[in-house]
């Protein structure tokens, strides 16, 4: 059985975890922003990967992949590996929470910084074949009248990297597409990715822990589905045979985690097996 998540050794810069870690290097992140937005950044005054924004307990929070700021601007960079119809509204919501998070009580609206939200998409987000889609707020009645709200949303389409006129941006998109580095900057990124997979045990452990948590949540959800199905019968669409099949999947998952050194008690928590059952698999 294949592992339930992508093996650490197979990660690329297109994988969210690896992208965030590589962008934690301030100079790499700064250079990427300058290339992709065609701006000059003197110094980043705030830099955080995987920043959580929760403005209230009953409001949907978000986790931003890469959130950075200089003295006048805020930048959010997101790696988007699945095509989602809600992407425009997702960008809208991200922008709204960023504004709420940064504007302090008593501040004037003029205190809001210029902001850029960048989605790097591995699928064409709008289906027009462009390598880059840039959105700003304009007047319908007078197209050259820009609403100066200081908001820019940029969506890059990795698949159209050949159409990108800027050679540095094209090299970045090409690397994310899965091709070899074609510039000094992308060679530096690829070197960091390769070195991290062989030398950075802390990142590896963090990745495995996060994926283990996701697996626990998924299997817990499946386990609840099996219980309901067995209790209510085939009317819920889950037969005893299917339940046994899901248990077999849990066993195979446990075997995989044993091979990579996850403790038996943690595997038991995540798969629903007992510790004794997990330890028996190791014999």
Is the pLDDT reported for residue 1 higher than 50?
A: no
Q: Which residues lie across from 117 on neighbouring strands?
A: 76, 153
pLDDT-derived band of residue 231, with 50, 70 and 90 as boundaries? very low
* pLDDT mean over 130-146: 95
pLDDT-above-70 percentage for the chain: 85
Q: Which residue has the higher pLDDT, 268 or 125?
A: 125
Task: Decide if pLDDT at 225 tops 90.
Answer: no
**Minimum mean pLDDT range among 54-63, 89-98, 194-203:** 54-63
Q: Mean pLDDT check: name the lowest of 88-92, 120-124, 136-140, 226-230.
A: 226-230
Q: What is the mean pLDDT of residues 158-169?
A: 97
Asked if residue 275 has pLDDT above 90, the reply is: no
Sheet with 46-53: strands ordered across: 46-53, 62-69, 73-80, 114-121, 151-157, 132-135
User: Higher confidence at residue 176 or residue 229?
Assistant: 176
d(Cα 272, Cα 4) in Å, to the nearest integer? Answer: 15
Instruction: Using pLDDT thresholds of 50, 70 and 90, give the confidence band for residue 5.
Output: confident
- Provide mean pLDDT across the span 90-100: 93
The CA-based diameter of the chain, rounded to the nearest angstrom, is 74
- Please give the average per-residue pLDDT across 236-253, as a whole number: 61
**pTM for the whole thing?**
0.76
Contact 98, 140 (CB under 8 A): no
Mean of the pLDDT values across residues 211-217? 71
Q: What is the pLDDT of residue 261?
A: 72
Secondary structure string (H, E, C) spanning the chain: CCCCCCCHHHCCCCCHHHHHHHCCCHHHHHHHHHHHHCCCCCCCCEEEEEEEECCCCCCCCEEEEEEEECCCEEEEEEEECCCCCCHHHHHHHHHHHHHHHHCCCCCCHHHCCEEEEEEEECCCCCCCCCCEEEECCECCCCCCCECCCCEEEEEEEHHHHHHCCCHHHHHHHHHHHCCCCCCHHHHHHHHHHHHHHHHCHHHHHHHHHHHHHHHHHHHHHHHHHHHHHHHHHHHHCCCHHHHHHHHHHHHHHHHHHHHCCCCHHHHHHHHCCCHHHHHHHCC
Higher-pLDDT residue of 140, 224: 140
Average pLDDT of the residues in 108-126: 94
pLDDT confidence of residue 246: 64
């Amino acid at each position: 059985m294949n592992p339930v998540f992508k093996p650490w050794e197979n990660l690329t810069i297109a994988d969210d975890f690896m992208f965030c870690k590589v962008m934690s290097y301030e100079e790499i992140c700064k250079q990427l922003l300058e290339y992709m937005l065609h701006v000059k950044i003197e110094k980043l005054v705030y830099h955080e990967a995987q920043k959580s924004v929760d403005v209230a307990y009953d409001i949907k929070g978000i986790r931003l992949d890469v959130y950075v700021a200089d003295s006048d601007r805020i930048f959010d960079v997101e790696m988007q590996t699945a095509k989602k119809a809600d992407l425009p509204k997702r960008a809208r919501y991200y922008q709204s929470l960023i504004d709420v998070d940064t504007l302090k009580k008593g501040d004037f609206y003029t205190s809001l910084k210029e902001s850029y939200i960048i989605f790097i998409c591995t699928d064409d987000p709008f289906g027009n074949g462009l390598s880059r889609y840039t959105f700003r707020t304009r007047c319908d009645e007078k197209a050259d009248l820009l609403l100066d709200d200081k908001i820019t949303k940029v969506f890059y389409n990795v698949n159209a990297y050949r159409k990108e006129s800027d050679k540095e941006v094209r090299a970045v998109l090409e690397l994310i597409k899965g091709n070899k580095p074609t510039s000094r900057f992308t060679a530096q990124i690829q070197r960091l990715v390769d070195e991290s997979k062989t030398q950075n045990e802390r990142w590896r452990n963090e990745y495995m822990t996060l994926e283990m948590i996701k697996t626990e949540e998924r299997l817990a959800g499946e386990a609840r589905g099996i219980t309901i199905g067995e209790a209510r019968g085939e009317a819920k669409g889950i037969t005893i045979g299917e339940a046994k099949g899901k248990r077999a999947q849990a066993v195979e998952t446990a075997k995989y985690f044993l091979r990579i050194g996850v403790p038996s008690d943690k595997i038991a928590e995540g798969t629903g097996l007992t510790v004794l059952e997990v330890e028996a698999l190791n014999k």
